[in-house]
Amino acid sequence: LQSKRKRNTGLASAGPRVAANRLWRLKAMGDTLVFRKPAERDGMDMAVEILLDRSSSMDTKNRITVARDVTMALATALNRMTGVQSAVDVFPGYGSAAHSILPFGGMLNKAREEMRAVFASGGTPLAEALAIVRPVLLQQRKRRKVLVVITDGKPQNHQLAMCQLHMCREMGIEVYAIGIGVDVEDLIPASTMVEAVEELPGAVTKIFNNMLEAATA
């Protein structure tokens, strides 16, 4: 998950910010390295949007239960990582294309309670949901932006969904998917599949390996 992030850790003889604790060196020793400059360091600096499909088709074989468990397990893991912010939305929403369960910076315990009430119903407005969550994800002041779609891969407008996913990638968002009981690589190539929450560790490892490959490409 590590990526490059800018931090004011370097010193230079010119720059926008003065290192106050170095000024004595300029007076006493003639040392001109008294300005701070941006320098890159390795570290986690990421915003992750988890988008959960709760459409009617997710009621098949009780996929919605698995999907809920997978979503919260992933959100919990991300919440424990310093430098990572996560959000959870479900689609369709309740009167709109998407509904926020966990906003960026929100309380995970409250999200758990609300997630228990999520049930499978309605269509699969993936394209419309992406149009709602994408701007919020892009607003986060994190170097890397990641979208994880948890779905059975059946958007009601496949062509429009593909266009929206393409727009996400064009805007610098890394897009991954977890298929619940089905392979969704035709929708999102960087994906994996689970049939039970116990399979999540291996599935997440595959996704993280895809993230690593994307970061080093």
Q: CB–CB of 207/176 below 8 Å? A: yes
pTM score: 0.79
Quote the pLDDT of residue 1.
Answer: 47
Task: Note the pLDDT tens digit of each residue in 156-180.
Answer: 999 999 999 999 999 999 999 999 9
Among 190, 58, 194, 195, CA closest to 124: 58
> Tokens standing for 141?
């002041």
DSSP 3-state of 82:
coil
Quote the pLDDT of residue 33.
Answer: 59
Beta strands in 13-133 (DSSP E): 17-18, 35-43, 46-53, 84-91, 99-102
**To 10 degrees, the CA torsion angle through 41, 44, 45, 46?**
150
Quote the pLDDT of residue 201.
Answer: 85
Among 154, 177, 175, 213, CA closest to 70: 177
What stretches in the chain show pLDDT beneath 70?
1-43, 210-217
DSSP 3-state of 122:
coil
Pairing relationship of beta strands 46-53 and 84-91 according to DSSP bridges: parallel
Quote the pLDDT of residue 8.
Answer: 45
